Amino acid sequence: MTQDIKFIQGNEVCVEAALYAGLDFFAGYPITPSSEIAEHMAVRLPGIGGKFLQMEDEISSICAITGASLTGHKAMTATSGPGFSLMQEALGYAIMTEIPCVITNVQRGGPSTGLPTHGSQGDVNQARWGTHGDHAIIALTASNHQDLFQITVEAFNLAETYRTPVILLLDEMLGHMREKLIIPKVDEIPVVKRLRTAVPDGVDFHPYLPREDGRLPMSDFGDKHRYNVTGLYHDMWGFPTSDPQVIHGLIHHLMDKIENRVEQLTRYKEYFLEDAEVILISYGSSARSALHIVKNRRKRGERLGLLELQTLWPFPAGLVRRKTRQADFVAVVEMNMGQIVDEVKKVVDQHKRVFLVNRVDGGFITPENIKDMIRLIQGRGV
Amino acid sequence: MKADKHLEFEKITAKALPEFEALSPGHRACPGCGEMLALRQALKGLGPNTIVVNATGCIEVVSTPFPQTAWNIPWMHVAFENASAVGSGVEAARRALLRKGRLTDADTTIVVVGGDGGTSDIGFQSLSGALERGHNFIYLCFDNEAYMNTGVQRSSATPEFAWTTTCPLGSASSGKTHKKKDLPRIMAAHDIPYVATATPAHPLDLMNKVRKGAAVKGPAFIHIFSPCPTGWRMPAERSIEIAKVAVKSNIYPLYEVIHGEYVVKRNSKNPLPVSEYFKLQGRFKHLTAQDVRTIQDRVDATMDRLLSYARLSDDTKGRP
């Protein structure tokens, strides 16, 4: 069998993977460096009977995908920092109403207009805490096109499985970089279908009553069942409530369905961790430089290892604690002022062993940058 | 008596063009950029005592590449959706300072600048709010009919049938399927003192309209047709020609709405067929004869309506 090999941008990979996962609705608003996602959706969707909508802003974009998803479609929007900021209220709405959807944020330098054409990983904490109120969220990332394809499909799968918005964090380098992608064959990556209720027409349907396994079957909005959807705290029928017991139950359900499943939700890759004295933890495009320097130093006999995180939220605390136990020190490589490094410090035995290796000037963090900083940490000088 | 005779302002003539340039040469706009030309003319009309609040867009990007600026007047870039809101704040705060005597120069003009995306899409809400509150500023909308800054994606101001990167051409899609939003008409519906349309191919007309906008008390909105060779897929030297043809074919009629009264000028008795406009641009190269007829009918109907508004304005002159 011949392979379907492409040489494409990361933004195009995201489009192809979303289609593979069953996406048939996209609404978005152009913003650098994510615009190619909208452009390729506009080209790909009409031909396969899907729907592409260009909206008047990012607020409308995320609202359109929540509406579309509720009617039974797999939906995504794509944006960058300023647009992601505008989406935060509706992101909370999708969390509260448990509407599956995927929000891709191709990160650029911030805050504000920031650095539209330069990469950054500055929105990691925004993905976690951008919308107001207590909540849980799933956020995924990847460092190369093959992984990005896999992770994008998984983003849709997790959104459907847990009835939640999933944030896909790309960055400008990954989005605009071109490299090889082997398109997986049909069924090579499992695709989770929408779980629809077996409750027959005319029988009372509870849109917010979990099954024994915790999953909530859905009913296409406006189809068989009439039900209420609201961003207010609500009961199992979806009706607003101020009953403390119901509120307590719902907030714990929204948190627990994600925070209690960290192990199932964790995606990661590891390189040379078994005997590593120095462990790098990285994610997204900066993990490429981290992997390069790890391989390079290994050739010289230095015991470096890399733990590449693909699930950033919920933070894989147990994994990080386990994997870093033997290391002399841990260096978190990221392109921000230290967003994941704080999480790592919280979970390792001695937080003084954890160092930040970062770059925030718009330039891509290079293997050389990482090597120099590790030598400084080791007291060997540059 | 036409409504514009009642609007007092200092007129610019061809013999006495202002020498003032608010924009330095050497900025990074594409060759043949219609909006930078129109912006230069508009700012000439306003003079040095001007503050600019600029939404995200081509003008912002090409005029201020680090570490340079083309601006010789106070200029502020804000986000994409909120230029009118920031303009509201600047205007209201200055008014308060004037009232308290802490500012003495009451003649400063506040100009809010946006493209068609920043005006008719994402910035629409803040613009509408500002007009309703009646802030004394001029809004200049440079309409190049798509998101040129991010790579030619459609806007609500993109005309029907036009190609953009998000209205691609193919078997299942053939350009934009929705009509262009009629922004000047919506702005006029806010009952503000002055609304006008203009093009860089009619520089004196444009400069004087901007001056009228500065002369009225309250908000003024000037919609400026801004040919974009890059996004419209046409040679750079065609920008002025295409603007002239747009006016001559009634694709883009020049008119004013002064205190609610429509004034239509420069409309041709024998307009060019709209096909003359379409044939100059690559973004319309796929149009069928039927498409062209559809647009011709719509353009004719729009012009009839505009002229009837103007006649009505004449007839009702002087009534409350």
Which pLDDT score, from 0 to 100, does residue A214 have? 83
For residue A65, the surrounding DSSP H or E stretch is helix A58-70
Q: How far apart are CA B221 and CA B257, in angstroms?
A: 10
**Number of alpha carbons in the 13 Å side-chain half-sphere of residue B228:** 25
Closest CB to A30 among B77, B147, B172: B147
- Phi/psi of residue A311, nearest 5 degrees: -95, 115
Interface test with B, best of A57, A87, A106 (most B CBs within 10 A): A57
Q: What ipTM was predicted for this assembly?
A: 0.92
* Angle in degrees, 0-180, between the axes of helices A35-44 and A10-20, rounded to the nearest 10: 40
Interface probe, candidates A12, A51, A54, A113, chain B, greatest B C-beta count within 10 A: A54
Query: Cβ separation of B79 and A32 shorter than 8 Å?
Result: no
Name the residue facing A47 among B124, B151, B171 (closest C-beta).
B171
Position of tokens 């009225």? B216
Rounded to whole angstroms, how far apart are CA atoms A229 and A239? 7
Buried b (16+ CB within 10 A) or exposed e, B160-186: bbbbbbbbbeeeebbbbeeebbebbeb
Answer yes or no: do A54 and B166 touch at CB < 8 A. yes
Q: How far is CA B32 from CA A161, B35, B55, B238, B239, in A?
A: 53, 9, 22, 8, 6
Closest by CA position to A91, among listed A111, A114, A69: A69
Confirm if B130 and B84 have CB atoms less than 8 A apart: yes
* Residue A27 β-bridge partners: A53
Residue B85 in contact with partner chain A when CB distance is under 8 A: no
In chain A, where the domains are located: 4-183, 267-378
Tokens 């065609």 belong to which residue?
B238
- Which residue of chain B has the CA closest to A56? B121
Quickly tell me which residue has 């503050």 as its tokens: B51
Query: Interior CA angle at A207 toward A203 and A208, to 5°?
Result: 130
Q: What is the pLDDT of residue A2?
A: 85
Angle among Cα B153, B159, B163 to the nearest 5 degrees reads 45
Output the CA–CA distances (angstroms, integers) from residue A303 to A296, A319, A370, B121, B187, in the order listed.
11, 20, 15, 55, 67
How would you label A25-36 residue by residue, b for 16+ Cβ within 10 Å and e otherwise?
A: bbbbbbbbbbbb
Q: Do domains A4-183 and A267-378 have the same CATH topology?
A: yes
Instruction: Specify the pLDDT at position B319.
Output: 53
B151 touches chain A (CB under 8 A): yes
Our CA-based measurement puts residue A60 at a distance from the nearest CA of chain B, in whole angstroms, of 10
CATH 3.40.50.970 fits A4-183, yes or no: yes
d(CA B298, CA B20): 41
Report the C-alpha gap between A309 and A44 in whole angstroms. Answer: 31
- Whether the CB-CB separation of A38 and A14 falls below 8 Å is answered with no
A265, amino acid identity: L
Q: Which residues of chain B have pLDDT under 70?
A: 1-6, 316-320
Option in B79, B121, B166 nearest A39 (CB):
B166
Helices (H) and strands (E) in chain B, counts: 11, 8
**A54 neighbourhood in chain B, CB within 8 Å:** 153-154, 166
Q: Which of B150, B156, B168 sits opposite A35 (nearest CB)?
A: B150
- Which residues in B lie closer than 8 A to residue A32 (C-beta atoms)? 150
- β-partners of residue B196 are B222, B256
Give the one of B77, B156, B166 whose C-beta lies nearest to A42's C-beta: B166
Nearest of A195, A169, A15 to residue A100 by alpha carbon: A195
Digit-by-digit pLDDT tens for chain A (382 residues) are 689 999 999 999 999 999 999 999 999 999 999 999 999 999 999 999 999 999 999 999 999 999 999 999 999 999 999 999 999 999 999 999 999 999 999 999 999 999 999 999 999 999 999 999 999 999 999 999 999 999 999 999 999 999 999 999 999 999 999 999 999 999 999 999 999 999 999 899 999 999 988 899 999 999 999 999 999 999 999 999 999 999 999 999 999 999 999 999 999 999 999 999 999 999 999 999 999 999 999 999 999 999 999 999 999 999 999 999 999 999 999 999 999 999 999 999 888 899 999 999 999 999 999 999 999 998 887 7
State how far residue B81 is from chain A, nearest Cα, in angstroms: 8
Q: Could you give phi then psi for residue A218, rounded to 5 degrees?
A: -110, 165
**Segments of chain B assigned E as strands:** 50-54, 75-77, 109-115, 138-143, 194-198, 220-225, 255-258, 261-264
Nearest-CA distance from A49 to chain B in Å? 9
Q: Report the distance separating Cα B255 and Cα B212, nearest Å.
A: 13
- Chain A CB within 8 Å of residue B66 CB: no
Q: Which of A32, A56, A86 sits opposite B124 (nearest CB)?
A: A56
User: B79 to chain A: which residues are within 8 Å by CB?
Assistant: 82, 112-113
pTM over 0.90: yes
Q: CB contact, 8 Å: B153 with chain A?
A: yes
Would you call B189 exposed, middle or buried from its count of C-beta atoms within 10 A (0-12, 13-18, 19+)? Answer: middle
Determine, for residues A31 and B156 on separate chains, whether the beta-carbon distance falls below 8 Å. no
* Residue among B80, B166, B173 whose CB faces A38 most closely: B166
Size of interface A-B (CB pairs under 8 A): 53
Give SS3 for A308.
strand
Written as six digits, the tokens of A79 are 């944006």
- For A64: left if phi > 0, alpha if psi spans -120 to 50, otherwise beta; the answer is alpha
Q: Which residues of A touch B147 (CB under 8 A)?
A: 30
Helix H or strand E encompassing A351:
none
Cis amide linkage into residue B67, ω under 30° from 0: yes
A42 to B171: CB separation less than 8 angstroms, yes or no? no
Nearest-angstrom CA–CA distance, A38 and A15: 9
Q: Scanning every residue of chain A, which has its alpha carbon at the shortest distance from the alpha carbon of B173?
A: A46
User: Which residues are registered as beta bridge partners of B221?
Assistant: B139, B195
Q: Which domains does chain B have, with CATH numbers?
A: 2-315 (3.40.50.970)
CB contact B163 to A (< 8 Å) = no
Cross-chain Cβ contact A30/B167 below 8 Å: no
Query: What is the side-by-side strand order in the sheet with A329-334?
Result: A268-271, A304-309, A278-282, A329-334, A354-358
Q: A32 and B150 in contact by Cβ < 8 A?
A: yes
- Residue B137 touches partner A, C-beta closer than 8 Å: no
Please judge whether B121 and A57 are an interchain contact, meaning their C-beta atoms are less than 8 angstroms apart.
Answer: yes
Is A267-378 a domain of CATH 3.40.50.920?
yes
Gap from B112 CA to chain A (nearest CA, Å): 18
Q: Do A42 and B173 touch (CB under 8 A)?
A: yes
Whose tokens are 């002399």? That residue is: A328
Q: In this structure, are strands B109-115 and B50-54 parallel, antiparallel, or unpaired?
A: parallel
Q: What is the DSSP letter of A274?
A: T
Please tell me the distance in Å from A113's CA to the nearest CA on chain B. 7
What three-state secondary structure class fits A262?
helix
Rama region for B279: left / alpha / beta (φ>0; ψ in -120 to 50; rest): alpha
* DSSP tag of B121: I
- The answer to whether B166 contacts A32, with C-beta atoms less than 8 Å apart, is no
